[in-house]
Every structure is written in C-alpha cells, then in structure tokens.
Amino acid sequence: MAKREKRIEVLNLVKQFGDYTAVNNVSFKVYENEFFSLLGPSGCGKTTTLRCISGLEEPTAGEISISGQVMTSAEENLMVPPERREIGMVFQNYAVWPHMTVERNISYPLRLAKKSKREIAAKLDYLLDLLELQGLEKRFPSELSGGQQQRVALGRALSTDPKVMLLDEPLSNLDAKLREQMRFELKDLQQKTGISILYVTHDQVEAMAMSDRVAVMKKGDIVQEGSPHEIYENPKDQFVADFIGTMNFLPCTVTAKTDQGVNVRLGNGAEFGLDSGAERGDYILAVRPEDIVLGSEEGTDCEVDVRIFLGNLIEYRVRLGEDYLRVQTDASLRLEPGDQSRLMIKHGLIFPK
Amino acid sequence: MPAKSAVKKRSFDIRNVLMVFILLFFLAIIVYPLFLVVVKSVSTKTGLSLENYRKILLSSANMKAFWNSLWVSSVATLLCVTAGAGLAMFVVRTDIPGKSWLKMLLLLPYGIPPFIGAMAWAQLFGPVGYVSRLYTNLTGAFSAPWNIYSAAVVVIVLAVYQFPVVFITISGALGKIDTSLEEASRMSGAGPLRTLIDVTLPLITPAILASSLLAFVGCISNFGIPALLGFRARFFVLTTRIYSALAIPDMTLATAMAVLLAVTAGIPLLLAKRLERRSGKFTVISGKSVRPQTIKLGIWRIPIFAVVLTIALFAGVVPLLSMIITSFLTYWGAPLNSANMTFDHYKYILNLPMAVRAFRNSAFLATLAATITMFIGALVSYMSLRAKMKGAKVLDFMGTIPYAVPCVMVAIAMILAWSKPPLVLYGTIWVILAAYLVRYMPFSIRTTNATLQQVHFSLEEAARVSGAGWAQTMKDVVLPLIKPGLVAGWILVFMPALRELTISVLLWSQGAETLGVVIYNMQDAGYTQIAAALSTVVLFVILSGNAIVRKLSKGEITI
Ligand SMILES: Nc1ncnc2c1ncn2[C@@H]1O[C@H](COP(=O)(O)OP(=O)(O)OP(=O)(O)O)[C@@H](O)[C@H]1O
Ligand SMILES: [Mg+2]
C-alpha cells in the first residue's frame, strides 16, 4: 500500500475549561480519502476536539496540523484563525444563515475566496446537482426541510473543495429514515471526492456504518482506535465493549488453562472452553447476542423470558441461573416465554472484574 | 513546516481598547454621578453621618410624602394587578368575543405617556371636563361629585398606566401554560372553575407576583401623574417632594429622599429578579405551542364583554379622543360642535419658538440617546456574550445599574456631577443627554443582549470556517441578523426619550426645553388646548413608532 498523506494530525491535545479537563492528551491522525469517526458518549469531549481542530477553540496544550502545516501549537503560541485553515465544517445544528438564500449560503465561501462569477456559477451548479437541491436555490432556510437545510450546510462546507471536512453529529436532528439515506449520501460523497472526513457522533451504528476508522472516546481520552471491525471484534475493555453494539456481561471464573485456551465456569455452574489467554481467577465474560446458539442439543439449561421480533431476526431474553442474557436467532426458531431450552456460547471475551 | 500565515495568539486586540474606553465612559457617566448622590446624602457639615436621613424621618411633611408614596403605589398596584389578572383571564381563557381587539384596546395605554394620560383624565373628569359636564347636564347638579385633583384619582390613573405591563405578563403566562396540566385536573374530576383555582392560578402566581412588584416600582417612581393631579390638592409623594426640594434648592434633602426612593423601589426590583430566576426552575410554563382551553361564559358572555369593552375604551381610546378633541376646541369648556373646532392651536404651536425648540431638542436628544446607547449596548453585548471577554460582564453590570435607579435620582446625580468645573453641563442640553444615556443604557443593553442571544454562535463560527475574518463575519452575518432587533431597540429608546418628562423637567433650562417640559408647563399654566395639541402630535408619533416596531418585531415587542 502506498504511503498515504496525513490530512489531520492531532498531537497530545489538551483542553481545559477552568479546572475541568474536557480533552485529555488526545492524539490521532486522519489520512487522505479516509472517513474517521470520533465516537463516544455525551460530554466525552468530541465536539471540543473538533472545535480545536477548526480553530474555534484554543487548546490548553498540544499541536494540530492540517495537510502538513502546523495550525495550532500551544507550545509555540501559534494559532491560525479558523478562516485561514481551509477546512469545511458542518455544524450540529447546520448553522445555515437564515438571512441568505440557499444559493448565497453555499456560494459564500467562494465569494470570500474572490472566485470569478463564472466559476462560482459552475461550482454552484455542480453542488446543487450533487446534493439534489436544484430548484431550491432562491429559497431561504426557513422554507426548507431539516434534511434540505443539512444538505445546504454540506454544500457550503464543500464549496471550496476543502481537503478536510469536519462534521459534528450532522445527522442527529433527522428522522430515522432520512438519517439512513444521508449516511449513504455522505459516504458516497466522501468516496467520490476523496476528501478526508472527521466525523463526530455518539451513535455507534452510524460510526460503524460509515467509517474507515473509529476512535472511541471516554471522558476526554481516546480509549481505542481501529477499524469498525477490529473494535467490534476486539473491544479493548468493558467500556468499549458495552458502547459498541449490544453486549451481555456475565460474572465468570476461569478454572483452568487448556490447549485451546481456558475453561470458564458461569454462575449457574455451566462450564465450557473459550479462546483466551487469561490466568485463573474471577472475570467478566462479554458475549454478543449473535454469538450465542439457542435451542442447541448440548449446552447449559436456560429459560425463555421475553421475545421480541426484529423482522428477519428474533431477540430473546433468557434466564441463565441468576443472570439474564440477550440472544439473537434467526426467525425459524420459535420459542415461547416460559419455555425451557439450552444455549451454547460460541465466542466471548474476558475482561478483568 | 510552519503555517504560511500564522498568527501569534494574544496579540494586540482592538477590542480590549474598546472595552477600556467603555469602562471609563460608564464610570464617568453612571457610577461616579450616582456615587455622588449617595455621598451627598450622608454628608453633613461635621462629616459623614446618617443625620440627613434622621431629619427626613423627623419631618412630618417628608414622612407624609413617603407614606403617601407607599400607600398610593400599593393600592394602585393592587388595583391594576386585580384588573390585569381578571381581564387577562377573561381575554385569554374564555370564549369572550373579539379577543384580539380587546387585547389591542387594553394595551393602548402602554403607548400613552403617563403624564399625557393624566392630562386626558383631567380633561375628562376635571371641573369642566367632558364627563363632568355630561353628568351635570344629565342630573342638573351644580358640579360633579368628584374631585379630579385628589389622591384617589392619582391612584386610579397610576393603575391605568401600569395596567398594560401587568396584563401582558399575565396573559403571556396564561397563554404558555402546558394545557395538559389543566386537562389532567379535569380528568381527575375538577370542574373548569376548580381547575382554574387549583391549577391555573398557582401556575401563574409567579407571573402575578413579579408583575405586581414591577407595577409597584413603576408607580412609586412616577412623577408626571402625582405632579399633574396631586400638586393642586397639595398631595405630595416622594417624587414630587423631591421636585420641590430641588426647586428650593435643598440638595441634601433631595439626595437623601432620592436614596430613600431608590431603596424603596430597589427592594421590590430585587425580589422580582429573584422570583424570575426561581420560577425559571419550575418549567411549568413550557414554550410548547398549546391550544388553551377556553371556559364557556354562557349567558354571561355578552354582559362580561360589555364590561371589559367599557374598561378597555376608558383606559385608552376615550383619553386619546379627549386629547384630540381638546386640541381642536376654540376654548376650553366650549360646547362640542363643529363651530367650535379650529386649527388655531396647531398654528400657534408652529409659531411658538419654545414649542419649535422643544420639538427640535427632543428629536435631537432622542436620536442621540438612542444611537449612542444602542451602539454601546451592542458592543457590550457582543463582548460579554460572544467574545466572552473577561471583564465584559462588569460592563454589562455597570450599564444595567440605572435600571434600578428612579429617574429623579438620575437627574439629581447629573446635577451633582456636572455643575462644577472642569465640565459644566448643567444648564445646557448636554446634561439632559447625559441623563438620557444613563437612563436608557439598561434598556439598550437588554435589547441587544436578547437580540444577540437569538443569533446562534454557530452561525458566526460557520462564517469563520468559511473563510471570513472577524470583521467580515460581523458585516456579513452578525449585523444583518441583528439589524431588525437593533432598529426595534433604537425605536424603543427613541420613543420614550422623545416624550420624557421626569428627568428633563428637573434638568431643563432656557433654550433646552424638551417636549415633555413644554407640555407639562403649558398644562400647569392652564393652557389646556396648547398642551393638548402638542400631546396629540406626540401621541401620533408614538403610536406610529409603535406600529413600526410591532411590524419589525413581528408583534413581539411594543413600546
Ligand atoms: N465552553 C465550555 N465551557 C465549559 N465547559 C465546557 C465548554 N464546552 C464544553 N465543556 C465541557 O466539556 C465537556 C466536553 O464537551 P463536548 O461538547 O466536547 O462534549 P461532546 O462529546 O461533544 O458531547 P455531546 O455528544 O453531548 O455533544 C463537557 O463536559 C462540557 O460540559
Ligand atoms: Mg458535541
């Protein structure tokens, strides 16, 4: 693989508000043609990180480079103002200017860049087409739907062909249907234009669906970084495991080491083998609902508690001794609440207690 | 590789210079003069002491004025809050016909300056007033059984002119109550009336309390009404007593009484502010768009409508008509027929140098006051709300101090600060301007704060990341967005300044008369029609201005 160019580089970023540390020593890189997401629960410092990169916020410490140029450096007392960073940004609430028409909103950065009339018209045409906003150019934002306003915000951010785009939960205000549609469009747009997108969200499904790489944040720190697949398969700790996808957590004990891994005993006494290098002792077992086989011949006894139809899948909540587990099966297995059954755990992760 | 156009942070910032400049301005024009009043009120020949206050409290005339202020304001408040709450209830919450018309009529007195209102009431109910004449004609009595120049009428007129604020606040609160709370009460078995008493009233109690406190402050600080209706009956309140003290002039007495007034008015203001903050925590009044339930009045619908309409007409329309008719009458007391109508008084005004000067002066003062205060207000709001500059909050605080200071105290402060060298403004029009700047600064800062808060941060930031610098962002995004608010705010200062009375009546000098002063003096000297003609012109300007502001703010703001 050819070496890819770094578009955003964040080095040891710290941002304090008074004595509250919102971002604590965060470092990451976003490469060209990459969709990179910052994912984390509310208040973990995602927006703050984004605002530091855009130059709207002055960090307490650390360095930020965009396209190889140092833009912010707390150590060197350097701060390039946002208007000179040549980035596109889409705000959480769109921030389209209510006193400008769609056309003027989108072309504003172009006019600031003193582009010729012809160039502006051509670009506008292209963007209106790309974002399917034709016919709306003379309208004011108040005359647009939420999704349309958002596309205007996107158009404005894209108009100067920035190499870097920052998006702060741009889909959070949309209804489920439109949100899904916009996910595709955004991903599509990114691939078509080859730009780097730094995407902020607290919606793990969204991050998984769109990103090439994801950084999971917790209380101002990045706890894990990697491809969606890596993070899903190998969450580094219980927090990430819990945050990404659905996960069951059960207390367990590693009773012995074997050739294949370890033997694990659950609270109800059931014992089985698992691929792990853990030492003997008490742990938390993390199991995804789809990694459990329900209604198997062998395995441990359980009782069906609740059943939920998910269309092509069925999710059961089953009781296993004192613990409850969420299990997903395909729609062919039909069990009623109260039925006795058996289950087998195919795959699981072991975390320290 | 270093960035091509890197900017060192913490470089020289023009905004800091501006901030220092405004700070000095506020110190000179607001803090220093007000401080002088307090100092003067506690200085005696032997040094600082509370001797002056003791003197006030021992003088029966002063104490009487103080008590008069208290009881007159309390009764007027009680009156206008009862009426305000009741009428708001009827207009917002029942199926009374013509709601929006009634609302407009009830709010009309808001646009009428209180002292002009007092004149209109004198025209209606005075010894040869229209209503009095109607009464004597109908009954054959020698004179009407009431005396317009009395404490009771002062109370009534004060109540009428404080009423609109109370009405707006309470009907606003009523309109915003989450109806599901009331519906829940209905579902629990309470009838409409029970629900009203058990649920609705408690919910709007904070609004009622807050508006009562503000009405009280409005009454106790008012000068025009007790001056025009009380002087002749030798009925004094604090404000008119201070006016007399200044005429002597007895500065120590005046300052001490002004401080007394400021404290008496300041306590309810503080309470109102706390109430506002506390009631903000109960989010019972949600911003949700709700369709309030209306109570069916049944057979009472029309009688109640008639009563409300009569009140509404007497509060605004009738005084207004009386003012207009009076201004066209050949002589005061002339029978009402077309033969007795004339334009003479208007012609007279046009040829009266003092009146022409007053128009010019008032327009000049109001324009400057509105422009300067809005300009500074916008800067202060921007610095404190947007740039989040340290110290800008101090500016915001300083600029809003005068909100709690009654007009008479502002005027006294100006006399104390600006009648000694090096800067002698007293005796010129500039001292009135200075007072207006102090007086209207809080209103400007408030409107600019509110306007700026409506412009979301991110709109500005979006411009920055689009490539606009600070100045460009101001020009392309911030200013266009706040312009309607600024224009409305400008008019909101211009209008009251144009017809201001209390301050200018204490500070005017030959050649520096304002409209308020001329109208007041004309009325006082018995030139009823000249005063009426001038008032009619002023009212016309104010009501048109009000219409413009309503249009600009889409009905959200009225003068
Ligand atoms: N201007 C500010 N002053 C003080 N504290 C702030 C400021 N901005 C953010 N914070 C605090 O910093 C922390 C991180 O905020 P940030 O906005 O980055 O969170 P976030 O991860 O974007 O959350 P969300 O998903 O809710 O948008 C929060 O606890 C927040 O309260
Ligand atoms: Mg955020």
* pLDDT tens, residue by residue, B18-77: 889 999 999 999 999 999 999 888 887 777 778 888 888 888 888 899 999 999 999 999
The token duo for B280 is 């903000």
Q: Residue A299: which of A332, A276, A327, A278 has the closest Cα?
A: A327
Check B9 against A79: CB less than 8 A apart: yes
Per-residue confidence at B240, pLDDT binned at 50, 70, 90? very high
The count of domains in chain A is: 2
**A82 and A17 assigned to the same domain:** yes
Q: Most B CBs within 10 Å: which of A53, A75, A86, A91, as the mutation test of the B interface? A: A91
**A13 and A141 assigned to the same domain:** yes
**A215 and A277 assigned to the same domain:** no
From A184, A209, A243, the end of a domain falls on A243
> Which atom of ligand 1 lies nearest, measured to the CA of A18?
4
Q: Is residue A85 part of a domain?
A: yes
Burial of B190 (0-12, 13-18, 19+ CB in 10 A): middle
Q: Is residue A252 part of a domain?
A: yes
The verdict on A95 touching B (C-beta cutoff 8 Å) is yes
Q: Is residue A88 part of a domain?
A: yes
**A187 and A174 assigned to the same domain:** yes
Per-residue confidence at B2, pLDDT binned at 50, 70, 90? very low
For B327-362, write each residue's pLDDT tens digit: 898 887 777 777 788 888 899 888 889 999 999 999
Per-residue confidence at B225, pLDDT binned at 50, 70, 90? very high
**Which residues, 6+ apart, have CB-to-CB distance to A100 below 8 Å?**
A108, A140, A141
**A189 and A293 assigned to the same domain:** no
> Which atom of ligand 1 lies nearest, measured to the CA of A17?
4
| Alpha-carbon gap: B104 to the closest alpha carbon of chain A (Å) | 29
Judge whether A174 and A147 are in contact, CB under 8 Å.
yes
For B246-277, write each residue's pLDDT tens digit: 888 888 888 888 999 999 999 998 888 888 77
What range does the domain containing A257 cover?
Answer: 248-352
Residues of B in contact with A113 (CB under 8 A): 467
**B93: pLDDT strictly greater than 90:** no
Q: Is residue A86 part of a domain?
A: yes
Q: Is residue A80 part of a domain?
A: yes
For B402-437, write each residue's pLDDT tens digit: 988 889 999 999 998 998 887 888 888 999 999 999
The token duo for B252 is 């120590």
**A113 and A239 assigned to the same domain:** yes
Q: Is residue A11 part of a domain?
A: yes
In this prediction, residues B133-144 reach a mean pLDDT of: 84
**A208 and A107 assigned to the same domain:** yes
Q: Is residue A29 part of a domain?
A: yes
**B450: pLDDT strictly greater than 90:** no
Q: Residue A60: which of A24, A20, A15 has the closest Cα?
A: A15
| Domain CATH for A296 | 2.40.50.140
Say how many Å lie between the CA of residue A47 and the centre of ligand 1. 7
Chain center to CA of B415: 23
The residue nearest atom 18 of ligand 1, judged by CA position, is: A45
- The reply to whether ligand 1 has any atom less than 6 angstroms from the CB of A17 is yes
- The reply to whether ligand 1 has any atom less than 6 angstroms from the CB of A51 is no
Say how many Å lie between the CA of residue A42 and the centre of ligand 1. 8
- The reply to whether ligand 1 has any atom less than 6 angstroms from the CB of A45 is yes
Q: Residue B258: which of B230, B220, B214, B226 has the closest Cα?
A: B220
Q: Is residue A1 part of a domain?
A: no
Mean pLDDT score across all residues of chain B: 85
Residue A282 bridge partners (DSSP): A253
The predicted structure's pLDDT at residue A1: 47
Domains of chain B, first to last? 15-44+344-559 (1.10.3720.10), 50-342 (1.10.3720.10)
The verdict on A77 touching B (C-beta cutoff 8 Å) is yes
**A95 and A118 assigned to the same domain:** yes
Judge whether B517 and B503 are in contact, CB under 8 Å.
no
DSSP track, B142-170: SS-S--SSSHHHHHHHHHHHHHHHHHHHH
**A219 and A295 assigned to the same domain:** no
**A193 and A48 assigned to the same domain:** yes
Q: Which ligand is nearest to the CA of A41?
A: 1
From A243, A266, A281, the end of a domain falls on A243
| Domain CATH for A114 | 3.40.50.300
Backbone phi and psi for residue B330, each to the nearest 5 degrees, phi listed first: -65, -50
From A224, A243, A262, the end of a domain falls on A243
Instruction: Name the residue with tokens 């290098």.
Output: A277
**A273 and A144 assigned to the same domain:** no
**A51 and A115 assigned to the same domain:** yes
For A299-327, write each residue's pLDDT tens digit: 888 888 998 888 888 889 999 888 889 99
